[in-house]
Structure 1
């Protein structure tokens, strides 16, 4: 850069410096008018003004004193404003947009003040280009630091907030004798209607970015119920969520499964809807039982576990050794784990669910009626008696095999 241009840049900086107070007001007013997130209360607004002023002062120092980019850091007021932005759950995109809008306004000021210097068109353009490049480089460097400050504060604030929230929720879940009014005060929400709880977790070994998306994934539950969930992060891999409403929540299972299909690392266990404070607790216990069933690994590719479908298995999951032994006595060789026997068990389950109708079972399984007839007779041979004998025991044992993965290998 030529000595003459150095001098011109300094002159422009001096002109802007002389009007800095009014220009700061102009810029902050623009932020408030254009960006809704900048419409703060008085205390945060003062911090926003201080942040803007400190950045403008740093830019002018850079232009007047030729400060190296290596020496540029985020001004303290700007760093504190970024942290406050994160604490108020305001978007990083809005903060970065302000910096770009401010950069554009600063260059407009430069062009205005250059007119006072009576430069040639080429000199004015060259000076504008030079200052724009310097300001852009400053903004880029400061933004890089701001992103780190914002994201670190967001994580820290979320962790602190979630820890307090999780403690409150656990107290409501576990404290005996807690009355409704006290529970509502602790959670700052009404517990008088209906509740539907879900546990959302990332599979073990999931990458950090996937685990970090757990809170956002609770929106999947909201989309499937049409209600915004109450959510907390129970730990780095697990999120708890409740849907609450005056009427009984309705879950769109098909939509929930579709949404989960887009997030292969996530699993969801859902309780049954239940009313009141007791219901808030019961539906969560249901979801815990459904997750216990998922933890058996009997259905590794399955993403959604509804208590309504696995409730009985959830009651048995804490007694797997005893249940396996009992199921073995009930089913005998029908509990083997080879492919052919698994197919027989599935056919018997459908047949019994179809109330003993070969035609109905065949339609459900998309096979010929004679195929169902053959498999049922084969299963009865393995049992040593007709399916009509000890039917309830057979159905429960088959359910345990299917939902808890209870089998034994040949010769075991």
Structure 2
């Protein structure tokens, strides 16, 4: 241990303590000048000054009294300022930048004070190094606490804000007889244009990343529409979102699918665009039905579900037991769950969509026309009649199988 260095550190700290008021004023002025987020109203500005002063006093006490880093905690004023920073939705990066700028100023002022002492070059360098190391260690330790305080407050504040906003949105969705002006006042937004609702959720099993995933989903939706969505947290793993605009929203589906491919646990269901207050509600109901198809359906790995692609299945999804019983009566053993029968169903569905053209169906499926012909005849044998008989029932039943994952493992023969 170097006695000269210890004494010099103590003397420098005492000198800075005597000038604490000016040091605090200079540091806070620098923050306001360099960091836009620090340009507060009077009340928060006073808290910023108290936070700065308390951190400076803690650093100087540590240097002057040899206080162990193990005993260092975030000063109360600094903790409250971090919470206020979070409540005002100011960036954590700006707050951390201030701590680093403040660290730099403390070391610079310490070096100036050190110049007044009669020390050898070696002791002066060692003293500067000691002060810089201790100050840096203090800042590192306090920053860890500040980050926890900020993030906890951000979550708490967001949850409270989301709860209030969610209650307002639910009221707009559910209150009968609510007029347009009242609904707009409740949501603080215009409902006169077009709306496109989406439900964003994360798959079960990834709760730790759910919050970040949902925020990513909202950002992806914004990028795919060019509009910032109104979002509320329906639960820990679900966002409700609306894109609103004067004109009909345009959705860049390829971009949306590409971005979702980078987030394997993320899912989005989207309603059809609709206008006005009724449209705000209707597009959300569409999104709900699309989500029901997504979570119930045959393709659980599908990340994007558009209501426009599953509208009929969305009407059927709430009656799965009855729909399955009806589909079994229509399709019989064509409902079986083996690979060969699944191929038959897929072929019949494409064939009917191709208006009975073997050539067109073969082109769509990238198989030979004779393959389509064979599979169609095989399906008709299983059905016991041509596809032209009860064609609409067959098409709806096949769609239910394809989009809702309906299967009959043992088969279901229709009564003769």
TM-score category of the 2 structures, normalised to the smaller one: over 0.9
Unaligned runs of 5+ in 1: none
Task: Identify the residue that residue 265 of structure 1 maps to in structure 2.
Answer: 265
Contact 1:292–1:314 under 8 Å retained in 2: yes
- Give the deviation of 1:25 after TM superposition: 1.6
Instruction: Report the 3-state secondary structure (helix = DSSP H, G, I; strand = E; otherwise coil) of the residue aligned with 1:231.
Output: strand
Instruction: Report the 3-state secondary structure (helix = DSSP H, G, I; strand = E; otherwise coil) of the residue aligned with 1:110.
Output: helix
- Give the deviation of 1:230 after TM superposition: 0.6
Task: Identify the residue that residue 109 of structure 2 maps to in structure 1.
Answer: 109
- Give the deviation of 1:216 after TM superposition: 3.5
Higher deviation after alignment, 25-34 or 173-182: 25-34
Task: Identify the residue that residue 284 of structure 2 maps to in structure 1.
Answer: 284
Unaligned runs of 5+ in 2: none
Cα distance in 2, alignment partners of residues 365 and 331 from structure 1: 22
Contact 2:335–2:411 under 8 Å retained in 1: no
Cα distance in 2, alignment partners of residues 62 and 134 from structure 1: 8
Question: For the structure 1 residues 292 and 350, does the alpha-carbon distance in structure 2 shift closer, same or farther, using more than 3 Å as the test?
Answer: same
Cα distance in 1, alignment partners of residues 346 and 294 from structure 2: 19
Task: Identify the residue that residue 38 of structure 2 maps to in structure 1.
Answer: 38
Residue-by-residue CA offset, 1:202-229 (whole Å, 9 max, x unaligned): 1122231234431332111111111111
1:178 corresponds to 2:178: yes
Task: Identify the residue that residue 70 of structure 1 maps to in structure 2.
Answer: 70
Cα distance in 1, alignment partners of residues 113 and 211 from structure 2: 51
Task: Identify the residue that residue 57 of structure 1 maps to in structure 2.
Answer: 57
Cα distance in 1, alignment partners of residues 407 and 4 from structure 2: 87
Task: Identify the residue that residue 200 of structure 1 maps to in structure 2.
Answer: 200
How large is the Cα RMSD of the aligned pairs? 1.3
Cα distance in 2, alignment partners of residues 216 and 186 from structure 1: 27
Contact 1:215–1:232 under 8 Å retained in 2: no
Cα distance in 1, alignment partners of residues 251 and 355 from structure 2: 28
What's the TM-score once normalised by structure 1's chain length? 0.97
What's the TM-score once normalised by structure 2's chain length? 0.96
Cα distance in 2, alignment partners of residues 266 and 22 from structure 1: 52
Cα distance in 1, alignment partners of residues 342 and 255 from structure 2: 30
- Give the deviation of 1:332 after TM superposition: 1.6
Cα distance in 2, alignment partners of residues 34 and 49 from structure 1: 15
Runs of 4+ residues over 6 Å off in structure 1: none
Cα distance in 2, alignment partners of residues 175 and 302 from structure 1: 33
Contact 1:229–1:242 under 8 Å retained in 2: yes
Cα distance in 2, alignment partners of residues 256 and 350 from structure 1: 26
1:294 corresponds to 2:311: no
Task: Identify the residue that residue 369 of structure 2 maps to in structure 1.
Answer: 369
Cα distance in 1, alignment partners of residues 34 and 375 from structure 2: 71
Contact 2:213–2:266 under 8 Å retained in 1: no
Residue-by-residue CA offset, 1:227-265 (whole Å, 9 max, x unaligned): 111111111111111100111111111111111111111
Contact 2:27–2:105 under 8 Å retained in 1: yes
Task: Identify the residue that residue 336 of structure 2 maps to in structure 1.
Answer: 336
Cα distance in 2, alignment partners of residues 22 and 123 from structure 1: 27
Cα distance in 1, alignment partners of residues 408 and 146 from structure 2: 59
Contact 2:213–2:263 under 8 Å retained in 1: no
Contact 2:166–2:233 under 8 Å retained in 1: yes
Aligned length: 412
Cα distance in 1, alignment partners of residues 25 and 365 from structure 2: 73
Cα distance in 2, alignment partners of residues 242 and 120 from structure 1: 69
1:387 corresponds to 2:387: yes
1:95 corresponds to 2:95: yes
Cα distance in 2, alignment partners of residues 34 and 410 from structure 1: 73
Question: For the structure 1 residues 46 and 213, does the alpha-carbon distance in structure 2 shift closer, same or farther, using more than 3 Å as the test?
Answer: farther
1:225 corresponds to 2:241: no
Contact 1:215–1:233 under 8 Å retained in 2: no
Cα distance in 2, alignment partners of residues 45 and 372 from structure 1: 76
Cα distance in 1, alignment partners of residues 263 and 73 from structure 2: 39
